[in-house]
Amino acid sequence: MSFSYEMILDYAPFFMHGLLYTLLFSLCGVVFGTIFGLIIALGRMSKNPVISGIFKTYIGLFRGTPLFVQILITNFGVVPAIFGHSNLYIAGALSLSLNAAAYIAETFRSGIQSISEGQREASRTLGLSQFDTMRFIIVPQAIKIVIPALGNEFISLIKDSSLVSAISGPEITYWAQAMNAQYYVV
C-alpha cells in the first residue's frame, strides 16, 4: 500500500475546515485561559484563606484530572445543565479555557512572586494602593518574566485541542480520522 495524495486532495476542504476549528478552539483557550488564569492567580495569592483555598482547589482539580475527562464532563454534564442541550463548540472551548486557566494561573503566580518585595515597598512609599501596585508595577513585570512559560502553555493548548475530536468536534484530527475510516484498506 502506498501513500495516496488523491485522498489528501479529496479531503483538503475538510482539513481546512478542521484547521480553522483547531485554531478557533485554541484561540478561545488562550484568550479566556489567560484572562481567567490571571484572575485565579490573584485569587490564589489572596491573604483571605477561604478565597485562596477555593482557587487552590480549582487549580488542583483542573491540573490533577485529565483534559479528556474534563472535556467529556463539560460536554455531557455542564453544558447541557446550563443550556439544556449539548453544544460541542461551547464544550470544547470551555474545557480548553478552564484547563488552560489552571496552568496559566500557576505560571502567573510564580511570575508575580518572583518580583522582589522591594518593588511592593517602593509602591507603598509612593502611596499606591494594593490594586494600583499590582496593575502598574507588579503584573507588567511578571508578564515579561512569564512570556516563555506562557508560550509553552499555548503550544500545549494547540496540541491538546485534538482531544475535542472525542466529542465529535470537527477539528483537524476529527477529519483525519474520518478520512482514515473511509479509505483504510487492510
Residue with the bigger pLDDT between 10 and 163: it is 163
Rounded CA-CA distance 146/110 in Å is 8
Q: How many helices (H) and strands (E) does the chain have?
A: 10, 0
**Nearest Cα residue to 41 out of 31, 52, 50:** 52
- Domains of the chain, by residue range, sit at 10-174
Rounded CA-CA distance 71/16 in Å is 23
- Amino acid in position 68: F
Residue 140 pLDDT: 94
Read off the pLDDT of residues 92-124 as tens digits, 9 standing for 90 and up.
999 999 999 999 999 999 999 999 999 999 999
Rounded CA-CA distance 112/141 in Å is 8
Residue 175 pLDDT: 72
Q: Give me 131's grid cell.
A: 490594586
Q: pLDDT band at 186, cuts 50/70/90?
A: very low
Mean pLDDT along residues 126-151: 94
Q: What would you report as the CA-atom Rg of the chain, rounded to the nearest whole angstrom?
A: 21
Residue 173 pLDDT: 74
User: Do 28 and 74 form a contact (C-beta atoms < 8 A)?
Assistant: no
Rounded CA-CA distance 13/8 in Å is 9
Q: pLDDT band at 138, cuts 50/70/90?
A: very high
What 3-state class would DSSP assign to 65? coil
**What percentage of the chain carries pLDDT values higher than 70?**
94
CA angle 72, 73, 77 (to 5 degrees): 120
Rounded CA-CA distance 99/95 in Å is 6
For the cut 70, the answer to whether the pLDDT of residue 65 exceeds it is: yes
CATH hierarchy code of domain 10-174: 1.10.3720.10
Residue 159 pLDDT: 92
Q: How many CB atoms lie within 10 A of CB 34?
A: 21
User: Do 111 and 143 form a contact (C-beta atoms < 8 A)?
Assistant: yes
Rounded CA-CA distance 84/65 in Å is 25
Mean pLDDT of the chain: 90
Read off the pLDDT of residues 9-25 as tens digits, 9 standing for 90 and up.
877 888 888 888 889 99
